[in-house]
Structure 1
Amino acid sequence: MSTATAQPLHLSPASGWQPPALDECAVDTLYDDVVAASRDRRRGYSQPTLRVVLGAGEVDPHFGPQATRTSLLPEPRAWLQRTAGAILECMTGVRPVTQIARSVSPLVYERVHARSVIAKRRGARPLHRSLVRRVHVCEPDDGVIEASVVVQHDGRVRAMALRIVGVDGRWMVTAMELG
């Protein structure tokens, strides 16, 4: 009878090499290639991962924001007077910006928030409350209002231009300029 002798086990360290990380453009290109290849095969395609791209062009018409007619919305002059005053107070740091988040678009919110941060850093508080003197309204389309608002802000009379759009049963400021 012969006896087998066990050979000693030789362990070697694993390689430390790893492939480089892909940048976002490369991942998008690979994803698009996979989608194109699956469509070329004329078979059903099952998406392996969820790709979420938030953009104005890709909003679902049934589940995205819905336009609202002017007749179904509150009176725009009074709404603009209150909202313009609130925006000015947010820009000076008197009022938290989150209070107007539902009434303004994301772009306008970012601009007002940036002005609020600057005002808070300066530490200057307005001597008098902002006062909305006049609101002039123009309706270029149903559910769209363009307004020029005359305000007294920090001791000066200034002009504010606002565009509001009826969205989901409420007004929303989509553009704002302060002169």
Structure 2
Amino acid sequence: MPSGSARASVGFREPFELNHFFAPQRTSAAALPDPEPFVRNLTRGVLEALAGVREVDQLARWLTEDAFRRLVTRANLATRARSARGVPAKRPVHAILSLRQQSPADGVVEAVAVVQGPARTRAVAIRLEGMDGRWRATSLAIL
């Protein structure tokens, strides 16, 4: 059985090097488009998915895996709640009242959209990170 030094001399790489090579690559904010239209569109898409008029899968390319799973769970709960009350899904009418964003680090944007709906006003908090040359949402919170 070869020792660790023998493996290194043969040209084997440690697993963390390969994972780093194939993992999503960070992108600088200078190489990315303005995040405001993305935040507006993603906010509308998320609210439509929760209302049941948009498939959550349509938003998958804009979200990381963890954020996508959480959105799927929340959309499924909303669907069950509508079903239990006998309320059909209908297109929400929302107005984005304000949008605030800041950049705590290069290639990272944290944004909050205040959205007014027919019943109440909500806040949607989104963290975007530049990955592989585009913005992706790594975290979503709907208050």
TM-score bracket for this pair, using the shorter chain length: 0.7 to 0.9
User: Shift of the alpha carbon at 1:119?
Assistant: 2.2
The superposition leaves residues 2-39 of structure 1 with CA deviations (integer Å, 9 ceiling, x where unpaired) of xxxxxxxxxxxxxxxxxxxxxxxxxxxxxxxxxxxx45
Distance 1:154 1:120, change over 3 A: farther
Distance 1:41 1:161, change over 3 A: closer
Give ranges in structure 1 of 5+ residues lacking alignment.
1-37, 45-52
2:113 aligns to what SS in structure 1?
strand
Distance 1:127 1:43, change over 3 A: closer
Q: Look up the match of 1:142.
A: 106
Give ranges in structure 2 of 5+ residues lacking alignment.
8-14
Give, in whole Å, the separation in 1 of the partners of 2:35 and 2:132. Answer: 15
- Which structure: larger Rg? 1
Q: Look up the match of 2:70.
A: 111
User: Shift of the alpha carbon at 1:142?
Assistant: 1.1
Give, in whole Å, the separation in 1 of the partners of 2:72 and 2:139. Answer: 14
User: Shift of the alpha carbon at 1:111?
Assistant: 1.3
Say whether residues 1:178 and 2:136 are aligned partners: no
Give, in whole Å, the separation in 2 of the partners of 1:41 and 1:70. Answer: 40
Distance 1:66 1:41, change over 3 A: closer
The residue identity in structure 2 corresponding to 1:108 is A
Give, in whole Å, the separation in 1 of the partners of 2:4 and 2:33. Answer: 54
CA contact (8 A) 1:133 1:152 kept: yes
Q: Look up the match of 1:77.
A: 36
Structure with bigger helix share is: 2
Give, in whole Å, the separation in 2 of the partners of 1:126 and 1:165. Answer: 31
**TM-score by structure 1 length?**
0.64
Structure with bigger strand share is: 2
2:101 aligns to what SS in structure 1?
strand
**TM-score by structure 2 length?**
0.79
User: Shift of the alpha carbon at 1:58?
Assistant: 7.6
User: Shift of the alpha carbon at 1:140?
Assistant: 0.8
Distance 1:41 1:61, change over 3 A: closer
Distance 1:127 1:93, change over 3 A: closer
The superposition leaves residues 85-138 of structure 1 with CA deviations (integer Å, 9 ceiling, x where unpaired) of 101111221100111000011111111111221222223335732332211010
Q: 1:99 aligns with which of 51, 58, 64?
A: 58
Give, in whole Å, the separation in 2 of the partners of 1:63 and 1:105. Answer: 15
Q: 2:123 aligns with which of 159, 166, 169?
A: 159
CA contact (8 A) 1:92 1:115 kept: no
Give, in whole Å, the separation in 1 of the partners of 2:124 and 2:4. Answer: 57
Q: Look up the match of 1:90.
A: 49
